[in-house]
Chain A
Amino acid sequence: MSNQAVLYDAPGPKARRLTLIVSIVAAVVAVVGAYFFIYRPLKENGQLSMELWGPLIDPGNENFDQLWQRLGQGFKATIIAAVLAIICSLLFGTALAILRVQLRSVRTVPGVQLLISVLNLITRICVEVLRGIPVVITIFFVWVGLNQLGAKDIVIPLSDIGLADLTISYLLYSLVIGLTIYNGVVIGEILRSGMEGLPRGQREAADAIGLSTFQTIRLVLLPQAYRIMLPALISQLVVVLKDTSLGFIITYEEILRVAGQTVQVLGNGIQTYVVVGAIYIAANYTLSKIAEYTQRRMARGRKTPRQPGGGAQLPPASLGADTELPALVAKLDD
C-alpha cells in the first residue's frame, strides 16, 4: 500500500478519543517498563554513576580529553578503512559486472563460445560462493593467510617530497581486502542486475550504430546502471561502514577496538558502547537518509514510465540479504 493510513478509517470523534486513551496508556506502560527493566537495574548495579559516565560526557573529568582523543583516532581509522573499502569494492564490482555482462552477450565461433560458457559458469560459482560466506570469515582468513605469507606494512616513502612517510598497516589492507572481496561481489551483482534490467532497446540501438559489446557496456549500459542503482550503492556504503567494525577481530585499531581498550582501563563497558553505538547509528542514519533522498529524487525525475513489475530496476531479492534496498523501498512508503 502506498499509504498505510489506508488500513484504518479517518478517525472520527469516538476513534480519536479511543486513540488518545490508548496512547496515554501505552506511553505510561512504556515509561513504567523502562523504569523497572532498565533504570532500576542500572541504578542498583551502579551503572548510572558519574564515575562511569564522566569520562564520556563530562568535559571536566580527568579522562575526558584522552578518551575522546582515542575515540577520535579510532573513528578516523574506521572512516579510512570504510572509504578505502568502498573505493576498491566499486572498482572490483564494476570490473566483475562488466566481465559477467560481456561473457553473457558476446557471440563468437563455437569453440570460443564453449570456453566462454565455462568461464561464465566459473564466475557464477565464485560469485555465489563468495556471497554465501560471512564477511567475518573472509576477513579473518585473509588476515591469517597474509600473516602466514609474511605480510608487512606498506610504507610509501613520501619523505622525498617533504611529507611524512605514509604507512598502510597490514591490518588495514587485510581488512580492506576482505571487505572488498565481499562487497565487490555484491556491488558487481547489483550493477549486473541493473544493466540487465535496462530495456532491450538500449542494447539493440547500440548494436545498430555498430558499437562492440564492451563499448555498449562502457558507453550505454554502465552509466545508466550506476544512476539507477545509486540508492542500492549508498545502502552498500552503510553495510561497509557497519562491517568495518569487524576489524576489531583482526586487532585493527578502529573505534570498537579502541573502545574495548578504554573499557578495560576505565571499566565503563555499557556507557562506552552506548556512546559508540550512538556514533555509528548517527553516521548510518545520515547515509540511509541520503540514499532515500536520492531514490526519491530519481523517482520524481523519471522520464520513462515505471515498469509494472518495478523489480526490473531493483536488485533481485536474493541480493536483499546483502543490500538493504527492499526494506529501504518499504521505508519510503510511510
Chain B
Amino acid sequence: MSVLFDNIDLFAKGFWLTLQVCILSAIGAVIIGTVVAVLRISPIPPLRWLGTAYVTVFRNAPLTVVFFLAAFGLPALGSNAEFLNIPGLNLLFSRLDYDLPYFRFAVFALMIYTGAFVCEALRSGVNAVPPGQAEAARAIGLTFSQNLRHVVLPQAWRAAIVPLGSVIIAMIKNSAIAGFFGLAGDLSQTGYDLVVARGEAVLPVFVGISLGFLLLTMPLGLLLDRFERQAVRAR
C-alpha cells in the first residue's frame, strides 16, 4: 500500500489532467450535441438527414476507432487540432497549448463521440414534453423557433438533465481511453506507467486509479439519483 502514498502526487496530477479532459470534452460535447439535436428536430429534411447520419455514425462506432481516426486523420488533413487552442482557455488548461497534440486529439475525439449521445439525451428530453404544449403553442400562432424557444425547450431542459447526466458519467469513464493513446500523465497512463514500466504492485495502483475515477463519477451519480427522486416526487 505504500505505493499508493509514495506516488500520491502522480495520482493527483493524473486526476487533475483527467478532470481537465473531461471538463473540456463535456463543454464541447454539449455544444455539438445541441447543434445536432436542433438539426435533428428541424423541419428541413436535409438537415434532419445530416443530424441522423452524424448520430448513427458516432453512436455505433467504438470510441477507439474514433480516437484512431483523430490521431491519424487530423494530421493527414494537415491539422494539429490547433483549432482547439482557444486563446482564453489555454491559460486555464495549459495542455491545449502544447506542441504535442495528444491532449487536443483526445478532447476532440471525446467531444465528437459524446456529442452524438448528448444529442439523443436532449431529444429524449424534448420528447418528454407533452405534445399538448406544442399544439397549444401552435394554436396561439407561434412559429417553429418561437415554439422551441418559449414553450418546448424550457420544459425539455428539466426532462433532459437525467439522461444528460448519464451521458456525462459515461464520458468520464470513456476518457480513460485517452491515456492509452499518447496522452501522457492522465490517470490511466499513470497506472500503466506504474505497473508496467516501473513494475509496482498491481493491487495498490488499481485501488488508487479506481479511487481517482470513482471520485469523478460517484458524486455525479449520487446527484443524478437525488435529482431523479426529486423529479419523481414532484410528478
Q: Which A residues form the contact surface with B (CB < 8 A)?
A: 1-4, 6-9, 11, 19, 22-23, 26-27, 30, 38, 41-42, 44-45, 47, 128-129, 132-137, 140-141, 144-145, 148, 238, 241-243, 245-246, 248-249, 256, 259-260, 263, 269-270, 273-274, 276-277, 280-281, 283-285, 288, 309, 311, 316-322, 324, 326-327, 329-331, 333-334
Contact between chains at B228 and A327 (CB < 8 Å): no
> Please, could you name 29 A-B residue pairs with CB atoms under 8 Å apart, sorted by A?
A1-B127, A2-B127, A2-B131, A4-B126, A6-B138, A7-B43, A7-B144, A22-B44, A30-B50, A38-B77, A45-B77, A128-B218, A132-B214, A134-B188, A136-B188, A145-B202, A145-B206, A148-B202, A269-B76, A270-B72, A277-B61, A280-B62, A281-B61, A288-B59, A317-B224, A318-B166, A324-B59, A326-B121, A326-B163
Contact between chains at A270 and B76 (CB < 8 Å): yes
Of residues 34 to 90 in B, which have CB atoms within 8 Å of A's CB atoms? Answer: 40-41, 43-47, 50, 56-57, 59-66, 68-69, 72-73, 76-79
| Among B44, B126, B221: residue with most chain A CB under 10 A | B44
Q: How far is the CA of A248 from the CA of B68 in the complex (A)?
A: 12
Q: Pick from B1-9, B24-32, B94-102, B171-179 the stretch touching chain A.
A: B171-179
For A11, the chain B residues whose CB sits under 8 A away are 43
For A274, the chain B residues whose CB sits under 8 A away are 69
Q: Which B residues form the contact surface with A (CB < 8 A)?
A: 40-41, 43-47, 50, 56-57, 59-66, 68-69, 72-73, 76-79, 117, 120-121, 123-124, 126-127, 129-131, 134-135, 138, 143-144, 147-148, 152, 162-163, 165-167, 169-170, 173-177, 180, 188, 191-192, 195-196, 202-203, 205-206, 209-210, 213-214, 217-218, 221, 224-225, 228, 232, 235
Contact between chains at A284 and B60 (CB < 8 Å): yes
For B210, the chain A residues whose CB sits under 8 A away are 129, 132-133, 137
Known: A4-B41, A329-B124. A317 touches B196 (CB 8 A): no
For B62, the chain A residues whose CB sits under 8 A away are 241-243, 245-246, 256, 280
| Among B180, B196, B203: residue with most chain A CB under 10 A | B180
CB distance from B143 to the nearest CB of A (A): 8
Given contacts A137-B188, A141-B202, A333-B127, 17 further A-B contacts (CB under 8 A): A7-B144, A7-B148, A8-B138, A23-B46, A26-B46, A30-B46, A30-B50, A42-B77, A132-B221, A136-B180, A137-B191, A242-B61, A245-B64, A269-B73, A273-B72, A318-B224, A321-B221
For B213, the chain A residues whose CB sits under 8 A away are 132-134, 137
Out of A45, A241, A317, name the residue touching B228 (CB < 8 Å).
Answer: A317
For A331, the chain B residues whose CB sits under 8 A away are 120
Known: A132-B213, A281-B57, A320-B167. A309 touches B235 (CB 8 A): yes
CB distance from A192 to the nearest CB of B (A): 15
For B56, the chain A residues whose CB sits under 8 A away are 281, 285
For B177, the chain A residues whose CB sits under 8 A away are 134, 136, 246
User: Which chain B residue shows the least CB distance to A135?
Assistant: B173
Tell me if A's interface is mostly helix, strand, loop or mixed: helix
User: Which chain A residue shows the least CB distance to B203?
Assistant: A145
Contact between chains at A144 and B202 (CB < 8 Å): yes
Closest 8 CB pairs of A and B: A330-B124, A320-B166, A327-B120, A269-B72, A284-B60, A134-B176, A134-B173, A321-B166
For B77, the chain A residues whose CB sits under 8 A away are 38, 41-42, 45
CB distance from B211 to the nearest CB of A (A): 10
For A136, the chain B residues whose CB sits under 8 A away are 176-177, 180, 188
For A8, the chain B residues whose CB sits under 8 A away are 43, 138, 143-144, 147
For A248, the chain B residues whose CB sits under 8 A away are 64
For A23, the chain B residues whose CB sits under 8 A away are 44-47
Contact between chains at B117 and A327 (CB < 8 Å): yes
Q: How far is the CA of A316 from the CA of B224 in the complex (A)?
A: 11
Known: A26-B46, A309-B232, A317-B224. A141 touches B191 (CB 8 A): yes
